[in-house]
Amino acid sequence: IILQTYRAIADYEKRSGSEMALAMGDVVDVVEKGQSGWWFCQMKTKRGWVPASYLEPLDSPDEAEDPEPNYAGEPYVTIKAYTAAMEDEVSLQQGETIEVIHKLLDGWWVIRKDNITGYFPSMYLQKAGE
Amino acid sequence: IILQTYRAIADYEKRSGSEMALAMGDVVDVVEKGQSGWWFCQMKTKRGWVPASYLEPLDSPDEAEDPEPNYAGEPYVTIKAYTAAMEDEVSLQQGETIEVIHKLLDGWWVIRKDNITGYFPSMYLQKAGE
Amino acid sequence: IKQPPSNPPPRPPAEARKKP
Q: How far is it, in rounded angstroms, from Cα B37 to Cα A64? A: 16
Which residue of A35, A39, A56 is in closest CB contact with B6? A56
Residue B82 has pLDDT above 70, yes or no: yes
Report pLDDT for A64.
Answer: 74
Neighbours of chain B (3+ CB pairs under 8 A): A, C
Looking at every residue in chain B, the average pLDDT score rounds to 93
Q: Note the helical H segments in A4-128.
A: none
CA dihedral B64, B118, B102, B72 (to 10 degrees): -140
Residue type, A41: C
State residue C16's pLDDT score.
73
In sequence order, what are the residues at sequence separation of 6 or more whose Cβ sits closer than 8 angstroms to the Cβ of residue B114? Answer: none
Sequence letter at residue B107: G
Q: How confident is the model at residue C20 (pLDDT cuts 50, 70, 90)?
A: very low
Low-confidence ranges of chain A (pLDDT < 50): none
* Phi, psi (degrees; rounded to nearest 5) at A56: -130, 150
C14 interface with B at CB cutoff 8 Å: no
Of residues C11 and B82, which shows the higher confidence score?
Answer: B82
**Residues 6+ away with beta carbon under 8 Å from A74:** A99, A100, A127
Instruction: Tell me if C5 and A38 make a contact (CB, 8 A cut-off).
Output: yes
Looking at residue A37, the DSSP 8-state letter turns out to be: S
> In this predicted structure, what is the pLDDT of residue C15?
76
- Cβ of B53 within 8 Å of Cβ of C10? The answer is yes
**What amino acid occupies position C16?**
A
**Predicted local distance difference test score (pLDDT) of residue B130:** 83
Ranking A26-30, B37-41, C2-6 by mean pLDDT, the lowest is C2-6
| Euclidean distance between CA atoms A100 and A71, whole angstroms | 8
> What average pLDDT score do residues C2-19 get?
80
Q: Three-state DSSP class for B122?
A: helix
Residue B119, Cβ neighbours under 10 Å: how many?
A: 22
Average pLDDT rounded to a whole number, residues B53-77: 90
Residues contacting residue A40 through CB under 8 Å, at least 6 positions apart: A30, A31, A32, A34, B47, B48, B49, C1, C4
User: pLDDT tens digit string along B112-127?
Assistant: 999 999 999 999 999 9
Give pLDDT, residue C13: 87
Give the range among A54-58, A123-127, B48-52, B97-101 with minimum mean pLDDT.
A54-58
The answer to whether B121 contacts chain C (CB < 8 Å) is yes
Whether residue C1 is predicted with pLDDT greater than 70 in this model: the reply is no
What's the pLDDT at B32?
A: 93
> What pLDDT does residue A94 have?
98
